[in-house]
Chain A
Amino acid sequence: MITFENVSKTYITQKALKDINIELPKGKIIGIIGENGSGKSTMLKLIAGLIRPTKGFVKVNDIQTNRRVSEIVTYLSELDAYYAMYTVKQTMDFFATQYKDFDLEKANQIMKFMKLEPSQKVKNLSKGNRGRLKIVLSLARDVPYIILDEPFSGLDPMVRESVVKGLLSYIDLEKQTVIITTHEIQEVEALLDMIVVIRNGQIIDTKSVEKLHEQEQMSVVEWLKNVYENAPA
């Protein structure tokens, strides 16, 4: 389980998160939804231990996070970052040396599924294929927590579809939890178990997608519109 206890985060003078309290349960696909600058990426970086809370605690499996939480958390950044000198295969080989749980066989399967060419230099890949490669690297780890920050950002619908299919095919929800931020809500709606809505650094609502569909007979987008209309600006 991932826990935020009274978490605030300030960047120099800008407050990114304000007194966040939330528990993200295991074995779910959780979407963190919000406008640009609402604090979604900050939440993910805190889980990945790449930044520290200004106040409060972020815990993964009851242990306060730091950079070394990467042993049990895989983090896909929204940024287009890679080692340009490597080919696709060399990138996977490098990751296999760094993470004990990196499954090269699974990586090769996902790579083929994503139609990536192993001998191609990463720097020569299209933006879409670099996005696919990031998904390969994230999903090939046999890791309890998968954190995906805007995995669809800048990708065309074809690539987005293959990423969604990849997520469906290669995640084991008995062992893994996925936390994803995205603006492409409709595309991931079928995947999501839970939604967390964040605005101006504060969580304004959380919802089980199943309940939303069955009890309130609403799509996530419709529900979000309601939430935003009723929430203070």
Chain B
Amino acid sequence: MDSWMGLLKKDFLLMKNRFLVFLMLDLLAFGLGWYLHIKEIGFLNNPSLNWVMNENDFIKLIPLAIAIGLHVLFISFYVFMSLRKEGKQLHLWLHNPQSAYVLLGSKVVNGLIALIISLIFSFFLFFMYFLPILSELGPHIGDLTKLIMYASTNIIFASLVIGSAILFFWVLYHVFKSRIGKWSLLVILIVMILFIWGMSNFQATDIYNNLVLRGEINIEFPSFEALNFVESNVMDVDQGEDFVGLYVFNVLIFAVLFVLSAWMIEKKVEV
């Protein structure tokens, strides 16, 4: 337990400054939203309007919404940066009696914790936009919470899968590096392109659909029903559907890539 906590702490401290930069970027997106809002409506001329959510004032939400969406790449960036630091002194990281599962697990768990903190912070900032109209949100609070949880779950799953792919490619790069030297980067880029191409082709097949489109989950947001009519278009924003199979597939992809990465660290990577 001590060794695991020691590794977690080390990996956190290794990335502490980078993590603060991630949080600053969330804050920057929040600030950019305000800037766009003020540019659109004017701050000095109509100070009271700054706190009002106008019908056409969704522009304020866009930067932070994009930033929240980009969290799908969070774990991959975080884990890659952490591994890159270790890569510069591989023997220090690998001369350790802990298994590769533990060494890599600590990186992923750190990334996951940092992602969750950054998501909470981003949603908190998002919530700040709605503070002036909090009383009007009363009936929607339950559905909003459900929506945030749903979005967060999907972001976390996607981030873990992309993160495990980056982890896998980083380890594979180090396997190639000791065997083919300077060509390893080129080879790894080709392997990455083939992997993405293969996955996207596989996702277009019936086999994939039969595999993942199982265990339908209907998610309803009844209080959003009034929002279904947006500018005369009918949109089903009050409901969505998802599949347990998709989550199982993502977990399997994550597990396979993680196990392969750990195996290569133990058996193939050299310092």
The chain A residues found within 8 Å of chain B, CB to CB, are 11-12, 45, 48, 50-52, 66-68, 70-71, 75, 77, 79, 81-83, 85-86, 93-94, 96-100
Is the Cβ of A94 less than 8 Å from the Cβ of B10? yes
A97–B95 alpha-carbon span in the complex (Å): 14
Max count, chain B CB within 10 A of own CB: residue among A51, A68, A81, A97: A97
Given A70-B97, A75-B91, A79-B89, output 4 extra A-B contacts at Cβ < 8 Å.
A81-B89, A83-B13, A97-B5, A100-B97
Shortest distance from the beta carbon of B101 to any chain A beta carbon, whole Å: 12
Is the Cβ of A67 less than 8 Å from the Cβ of B5? no
A108–B184 alpha-carbon span in the complex (Å): 43
B179 contacts the other chain (CB 8 A)? yes
Chain A residues within an 8 Å CB radius of B100: 67
Closest chain A residue, CB of each to CB of B266: A67
B2 contacts the other chain (CB 8 A)? yes
| CB contact under 8 A between A11 and B14, given known A51-B270, A98-B7 | no
B181 contacts the other chain (CB 8 A)? yes
Chain B residues within an 8 Å CB radius of A68: 97, 99, 266
B201 contacts the other chain (CB 8 A)? no
A72–B179 alpha-carbon span in the complex (Å): 28
| CB contact under 8 A between A83 and B91, given known A12-B180, A98-B96 | no
24 A–B pairs (Cβ distance < 8 Å), ordered by A: A12-B179, A12-B180, A50-B91, A51-B178, A51-B270, A51-B271, A52-B270, A66-B266, A66-B267, A67-B96, A67-B100, A67-B265, A70-B96, A71-B97, A75-B91, A77-B91, A77-B95, A81-B91, A82-B92, A83-B92, A94-B6, A98-B6, A98-B7, A100-B97
Q: Which of A77, A85, A93 contacts B92 (CB 8 A)?
A: A77
Cβ proximity bits B4-37 to A, threshold 8 Å, 1 near / 0 not: 0111011001101000000000000000000000
Q: Which of A12, A70, A86 contacts B95 (CB 8 A)?
A: A70
B residues contacting the other copy or chain, number (CB 8 A): 31
Is the Cβ of B14 less than 8 Å from the Cβ of A98? no
A157–B5 alpha-carbon span in the complex (Å): 39
Main secondary structure of the interface of A (DSSP, over half): loop
Closest chain B residue, CB of each to CB of A9: B270
Shortest distance from the beta carbon of B1 to any chain A beta carbon, whole Å: 9
Q: Would you list which residues of chain B between 90 and 125 have a CB under 8 Å from chain A?
A: 90-92, 94-100
Closest chain A residue, CB of each to CB of B182: A12
Is the Cβ of A50 less than 8 Å from the Cβ of B271? yes
Is the Cβ of B95 less than 8 Å from the Cβ of A50? yes
| CB contact under 8 A between A48 and B95, given known A11-B178, A12-B181, A94-B10 | yes
Q: Which of B3, B92, B271 contacts A97 (CB 8 A)?
A: B3
Is the Cβ of A50 less than 8 Å from the Cβ of B3? no
Cβ proximity bits B72-102 to A, threshold 8 Å, 1 near / 0 not: 0000000000000000111110111111100
Is the Cβ of A97 less than 8 Å from the Cβ of B2? yes
Closest chain B residue, CB of each to CB of A85: B13
Chain A residues within an 8 Å CB radius of B14: 83, 85
Chain A residues within an 8 Å CB radius of B16: 85
Shortest distance from the beta carbon of A229 to any chain B beta carbon, whole Å: 35
